Amino acid sequence: MKKWYKQAYFDRKIWIIENFDKLNLSAEEAMLILLIDYAKDTKKKINYDFLCSKLGIDTRALDKILSGLVGKHYLSINTNEKGISFDFDNIFEFDPEKYEVIENKNIYDIAEELVNKPLTPAQLQKINELLDKYDENRIIDAIRTAEAYRKTSLDYVEGILRNENKQ
């Protein structure tokens, strides 16, 4: 049986646009995924030149976007006799409904889901320290990023927040 996202009635582009914030995609990452999908639909040859010219970026910037998508396990890149092939079907394995509920939860509940067990006193203290330094929504976004990378530690979340401040 075909996967739900491979059914003829399913519009992949609309789903990506509706969920790109929950998927923790940047605008550039979402645009690249949409461009790859468009190129596949229209049977255009997908290569670095095509992607760079359509996105108006250089190969270094494209590499950075591709690396981010590969790191989130949303994109896989393969080479074959025909050239490069891009597969982003993993993006559809993400369950956006899981994140609909988050808006009604407090940060401690969200962090508990990240570590997948009750929070220890040290972890509660870490969250309180993060709340002293960062906005709650930024911390929640960092937790979502950690989940996208399948990392389950608050130290990783703190690293994300520190790196955002450096940029």
pTM: 0.57
Which domains does the chain carry? Answer: 9-93 (1.10.10.10), 97-166 (1.10.10)
Regarding predicted confidence, which is higher, 142 or 1?
Answer: 142
CA 34/CA 21 separation, integer angstroms = 14
pLDDT tens string 48-98: 899 999 999 999 999 999 988 888 888 888 877 777 788 888 888 776 555
Query: What is the rounded CA–CA span in Å between residue 50 and residue 34?
Result: 13
Q: Kind and range of the H or E element at 129?
A: helix 121-133
- Gap between the Cα atoms of 4 and 39, Å rounded: 21
Q: Are strands 76-80 and 83-87 parallel, antiparallel or unpaired?
A: antiparallel
